[in-house]
Amino acid sequence: MPNVVALPRRDEPVQPEPDGYPALRRWASCMASLVTMILAGFVVFTGIVLSLGLVFQGAFLWLAPGAGFLGSRPDGIAGLVSFGALPWPTRLAYAVTFTATQVPVLFVLCHLRALLRDLAAGAVFAAGHASRLRRMAIGLLAYAVAPAAGQILVRLVGHGVDLAWWRTSSLHALLLAAFLIVLSELIRAGQAIKDDRDGFV
């Protein structure tokens, strides 16, 4: 009969299922590698800036109203101050502010890499994807509020140069966080529908 399927014997290995979504898995693997390189570069950059500011007495670091510079002294910048010329409490306050803006980005990149690796491994509709997206949204929210929170510390300490408490990137982070929250709820709803459908089998 054509609709009869021969079951494998007990000692016969079960044949693997055909690879589902090969294009998605391939692109996810490439993106996971790219995010890994970005994450490594971001960690190196963060370490260099903190080392220059705290270990090497602010060498090659410059602050101006609404901007910061890395490298040799830029020309034609009004209000430019060497980071090493600031008092130690102010330098520590800026270091805390910088760290508070970098850590959420590292958090988001780590969860993004984990999500892409799950997709590359074939876990396309895993239940944990929604929670990963929510964690990424929380990281983006933390990144958005970090500059304002850091400026409170800098103003309390005094001798601040860059007193910008709001950045355009904070608005972008808020919009992306809202999108990820909506996407996570959509994935969770789809997973619930899939579980209900499988329950009728």
User: Domain map of the chain by residue range?
Assistant: 23-199
Checking if the pLDDT of 7 tops 60, the result is: no
Q: For the whole model, what pTM was predicted? A: 0.82
Mean pLDDT computed over 17-25: 71
* Cβ burial, residue 144 (10 Å; 0-12/13-18/19+): buried
pLDDT band with cut points at 50, 70 and 90 for residue 14: very low
Checking if the pLDDT of 187 tops 50, the result is: yes
What digits encode the pLDDT tens for the residues 65-98?
888 888 888 888 888 898 989 999 999 999 999 9
* Cβ burial, residue 143 (10 Å; 0-12/13-18/19+): buried
Checking if the pLDDT of 34 tops 70, the result is: yes
pLDDT band with cut points at 50, 70 and 90 for residue 145: very high
Q: For the chain, where are the alpha helices, taking DSSP H only?
A: 22-50, 88-120, 128-157, 168-199
- Residue of 27 and 11 predicted with greater confidence: 27
pLDDT value at residue 196: 65
d(CA 70, CA 2): 72
pLDDT value at residue 194: 67
pLDDT value at residue 164: 80
Mean pLDDT computed over 139-162: 92
Checking if the pLDDT of 4 tops 70, the result is: no
N-to-C CA span, the chain: 24
Residues of the chain with pLDDT > 90, as a percent, come to 52
Number of other residues whose CB lies within 10 A of the CB of residue 187: 20
pLDDT value at residue 36: 97
d(CA 131, CA 128): 5
Average pLDDT, the chain: 86
pLDDT band with cut points at 50, 70 and 90 for residue 9: low
Least confident of 52-61, 165-174, 186-195: 186-195
